[in-house]
Amino acid sequence: MKNPIPRSLLPALLLAATQCVSVQSASAAELTLAVEIPRQNVAEYHKPYVAIWIENNSTRAVTNLAVWYDAEMRNNEGEKWLKDMRQWWRRSGRTLQMPVDGVTGATKGSGQHHLQFHFGSAPLHELAGGDYTLRIEAAREVGGREVVDIPFSWPQTQPATFTASGSTELGAVAVSIKP
Amino acid sequence: MLNKTPFKPFLVAALVLGSVAVQAHRAWIVPQETVLSGENRWVSFDAAVSNDIFLANYNPGRFSDVQVLNPDGSAGQVENLHTGKYRSVFDLALKQEGTYRLFIASSGLRALWEEDGQRRMYPGRGEQYSAEGFAKAVPENAEKLVVSQASRRMETFVTLGAPSRNALAASGQGLELVAVTHPNDLFAGEEASFRFLIDGEAAQGADVTLIREGTRYRNAQEAITLKTNSKGEITVRWNGAGRYFLEAEYKDNKAQKPATERSGSYVAVLEVLPD
């Protein structure tokens, strides 16, 4: 799982890192995430629904970081496909009241997407020391579904980056932790 | 004939399922999907009687009396029932969050004996059981008398939002499944456990068969066959994701008089999702 960081992600990670130094105090521990949604060469394309969450090693969802879905549809019709992110739906989605402040957002198209979270503040919260898995699940209407898992430990003494890559619905994913 | 209102659904059901037993066909109710999100969703169901798993090619059954238990335990109703040549279809509106149970259940006594070398049966085809009818029809010292107390249940489950267990409570009558693993929380790479009860008590030694859909596209049934343990339980390792036809059969001699044997048959359609 601890692959070298893909070259294509480096500028993004560096940019994200510099940005947070300028905004946050140097002591604030943070988690930066770079997610690639691949371009699909298909006749009918819908932006994927994506859920990003952290589980502890007993596969309990600890915290939801992001859920991208179509919240703008009439009569909350977009919620109809939330269950297609099966693992996320099972672990926490089905007990949530949508939308969730600071977690849910609009679907995103292909390309690199960057997210930044601070330990101790929502939606990441403070993590107890231990082993975790950051999981990203994508499901696309008339398309496929894929889950990418990135194991990591918290806390870290040195800045660390963990990477993984999907093969169909998700591309390169990198989790960077600054202690 | 079927005018004793409280029993009408059961009797109609008995006719549907009765034909299953006699002709060894299988009756099934298949939900188009079992796990749903959002609000005010609908689920469409296909139901029929056939040998092939979820392939409607024998008869459409009679599902006008299918019963619904809502997540809060109240009774619901299916809508838009249509009976075609081979298949019945109907819809269920999911207005509450939680797990819904759709079922057809029946139970009754049947006597078989011989008179002058001829096999006799009570109640006969189209007749219904009554204590008086039994006393009149069955001779005091009938030869080779077997009186069976038989129960049948066929059901399936769908869930909107988080699974709940109100609708899963056992009735205490006949052969029934008690969910250890929730029937709408089944995943291909995990084991699932179910307990079977006969009249509310552990059904030990029941034969359980599970067959995954799509038999038409493979050469073998690939049936999973299990026997319940002393607690009436089985643990299933799935043959991959898909919808499954589950059939359980149970028989013992602990029937209440005048019955001499007790049997139960149970069918459920379950959906197992990919990991």
**How far apart are alpha carbons B113 and B111 in whole angstroms?**
7
Distance from CA of B199 to the nearest CA of A (A): 33
Q: Which residue among A79, A90, A95 places its CB closest to the CB of B38?
A: A79
Q: Do A79 and B37 touch (CB under 8 A)?
A: yes
Amino acid at A57: N
The predicted structure's pLDDT at residue B22: 41
**Chains A & B: contacts with CB separation below 8 Å:** 34
- For B83-95, what is the mean pLDDT? 97
Phi first, then psi: give them for residue A53, nearest 5 degrees.
-150, 170
Cβ-based neighbours of A151, under 8 Å, separated by 6 or more: A1, A131, A132, A133, A134, A162
Please give the structure tokens belonging to residue A25.
């105090």
pLDDT digit string, tens, across residues B174-223:
999 999 999 999 999 999 999 999 999 999 999 999 999 999 999 999 99
pLDDT at A27: 52
Q: Could you report the predicted ipTM of this complex, rounded to two decimals?
A: 0.79
Retrieve residue B255's tokens: 């029937």
B38 vs A93: CB contact, 8 Å cut-off?
A: no
Q: What is the pLDDT of chain B when averaged over all its residues?
A: 90
pLDDT per residue as tens digits for the range A130-167: 999 999 999 999 999 999 999 999 999 999 999 999 99
Share of chain A above pLDDT 70, in %: 85
Structure tokens at B35: 């796990």
CB-based contact A94 B273, cutoff 8 Å = no
Q: Is A102 helix (H, G, I), strand (E, B) or coil?
A: coil
Residue A80 to residue B36, Cβ atoms within 8 A = yes
pLDDT, one tens digit per residue, over A59-82 is: 777 799 999 999 888 888 899 999
Which residue intervals of chain A are DSSP H helices?
Answer: 10-23, 86-91
Sequential DSSP letters for chain B: ----GGGHHHHHHHHHHHHHHHHT-EEEEEES-SEE-SSSEEEEEEEEEESSTT---SB----TT-EEE-TTS-EE--EEEEE-SS-EEEEEEE-SSEEEEEEEEEEEEEEEEEETTEEEEES-TT----HHHHHHHS-TT-EEEEEEEEEEEEEEEEEESS---GGG---SSSEEEEESS-TT--BTTSEEEEEEEETTEE-TT-EEEEEES-GGGSSS---EEEE--TTSEEEEE-SSSEEEEEEEEEEES-PPTT-SEEEEEEEEEEEEB--
User: What's the pLDDT at B58?
Assistant: 94
Select from B52, B47, B46 the least CA-distant residue to B25. B52
What mean pLDDT is reported for chain A? 87
| CB nearest A94 (choices: B37, B39, B41) | B37
Mutate to test the interface with A, among B36, B37, B158, B182 (most CBs of A within 10 A): B37
Residues in chain B: 275
Q: What's the whole-number mean pLDDT along residues B84-113?
A: 95
Mean pLDDT in residue range B20-46: 86
* pLDDT, position A8: 53
Please compute the mean of the pLDDT values over residues B36-46 and round it to a whole number.
96
Report the residue of chain B nearest A73, measured CA to CA: B38
Compare CB distances from A86 to B36, B40, B273 and report the shortest one's residue: B273
Band of the pLDDT at B12, cuts 50, 70, 90?
very low
Q: What is the pLDDT of residues B115-153, one digit of tens each?
A: 888 999 998 877 888 888 888 888 888 888 999 999 999
If one compares A7 and A35, the residue with the highest pLDDT of the two is A35
The count of other CB atoms within 10 Å of the CB of residue B195 is 18
B212 or B9: which leads in pLDDT: B212
Per-residue model confidence (pLDDT) at position A2: 43
Check if A168 contacts B (Cβ < 8 Å). no
Predicted pLDDT at A157: 94
Residue B262: is its pLDDT beyond 90?
yes
A89 contact B CB<8A: yes
Residue B266 has a pLDDT of 97
Band (pLDDT 50/70/90 cuts) for residue A9 is low
- Better pLDDT: A25 or A120: A120
Q: Is the pLDDT of residue A104 over 90?
A: yes
